[in-house]
Amino acid sequence: MQIPVRAINRTRQTVLCERLETASSFAEQSRGLLGRAGLKPGSGMLFVCGRLAPFMWMHMFFMRFPIDIVFLDRNDRVIRVNHRLKPWRVSSLVLRACKALELEAGAAARSATQPGDQIVFEQA
């Protein structure tokens, strides 16, 4: 059973995501948000890449709804934000990204999250 996690933008003192699922296994990361009709408000998914990967990117193939993707470095600092990425698109290829947060569309803007912001994770 997963322990719910919240993502807080420490720099802006805002909540980026109330309930994050963690895609930790290869199967969970491969499936991601596929097959869902949408994300509930305040929910999202956290992806953590392997230690040796020098970059991350995400795809929206077979997705049914747009999302925000927030890419973080190994210190949980925001490197890039892709706002309202639509189905059948590909995200930015982000060098030095170690984590990606897939969030409901508009979540990054509502929390005023920008590159350089520090994100912290805590139990919900």
Whether the model clears a pTM of 0.95, i.e. scores above it, the answer is: no
Q: What is the reported pLDDT for 38?
A: 78
Query: Does residue 1 surpass a pLDDT of 80?
Result: no
In tens, the pLDDT along 56-99 reads: 888 888 888 999 999 999 999 999 999 999 999 999 999 999 99
Query: Does residue 14 surpass a pLDDT of 70?
Result: yes
C-alpha 27/C-alpha 31 separation (Å) is 6
If one compares 49 and 52, the residue with the highest pLDDT of the two is 49
Q: Is 87 helix (H, G, I), strand (E, B) or coil?
A: coil
**Count of domains for the chain:** 1
Q: What is the reported pLDDT for 23?
A: 75
For residue 34, how far is the Cα from the chain centroid? 14
State the CATH number of the domain containing residue 22: 2.60.120.1140
In tens, the pLDDT along 112-121 reads: 999 999 999 9
C-alpha 121/C-alpha 124 separation (Å) is 9
* 96: containing domain: 5-123
If one compares 32 and 21, the residue with the highest pLDDT of the two is 21
Q: What is the mean pLDDT of residues 28-53?
A: 74
Q: Mean pLDDT, the chain, as a whole number? A: 87
Q: How is residue 58 written in tokens? A: 């995400």
